[in-house]
Amino acid sequence: MTDSPLYKEELRQFIKTALDEDVGRGDLTSLATIPADQTLSAAMVARENMVIAGMFLAVEIIKTCDPLARIEVIAADGLEVVANSVILKVTGNAQKLLTAERTALNILQHLSGIATLTRTYVRRIEHTDCRLLDTRKTIPGLRKLAKYATRMGGAMNHRMRLDDGVLIKDNHIARIGSIKAAIAAAKAHDTAASTIGITVECDTLDQAADAVEAGADRLLLDNMNNAQLRTAVEQYKGRVKLEASGGVTLDTIREIAETGVDYISVGRITQSAPAVDIGLDYLD
């Protein structure tokens, strides 16, 4: 199984929070209707084609509720499965498994939805050298997991946090007065921890020229049309890294990648991915 993107304590706290939210003081229905010593066997089934992400969390949630449960993972994270595939089997205490069911399915469906949508975007550009990037457009508290899911779908993680890199945007430039001044200030600051060097968001080719001249390492070409992107590639590829961004969809990403940019960042893969359909079918 793929290693968890969460530290041990982060994982424990996430599961505790999720179960506390769903279970409260106890699963009244299961406690009232299911004998305490009854066991059951069940299978998680993919109801549609999908890429799995978050299986490790589903397993840990089940184990937290029933430490003695016997679990067989059939589809690990990153695996693409077809509709009606069994992805996990479990046997354990009936009350405890019923308590774990919704929480385990919720996170698995959400993260697999992100991975599935990501894989769809990746497939549109796999004939090019362009890489798909995720963004910081994630649900607060779920960023590590959402970005883990994009990796399972084939994307490359962009900045995890603001301390990961210098990205000079329009508001920074407006406040300090110019791209040149913003880059000079960044170079004067301790930016050794930046994983992306000094990146400048450019809305126009004139801004791109200013950023390259001032010493930017990377250009974020925001909402440029394909003709503008091709011009930027012709003038700057090899000198700086080029990232296209803004309003990218499944219908437009192929042509954007074919302009020759190095990266395309897409907020939709974490911000708008629909959950996939996974069921837990009881076998006895």
Q: What amino acid positions are annotated as catalytic residues?
A: 102, 137, 169, 201, 222
CB 39 within 8 A of CB 91: yes
C-alpha to C-alpha distance for 59 and 168, rounded to whole angstroms = 41
Conformation bin of residue 177: beta by default, left when phi > 0, alpha when psi is -120 to 50: left
Task: Give the C-alpha distances (Å, rounded to integers) separating 86 from 37, 91, 102, 118, 141.
Answer: 26, 14, 17, 22, 30
SS3 content of the chain, % helix, strand, coil (to 5): 45, 20, 35
Nearest partner of 118 among 105, 106, 131, judged by Cα: 131
Q: How far is CA 211 from CA 29, 74, 208, 222, 278, in A?
A: 62, 50, 5, 14, 47
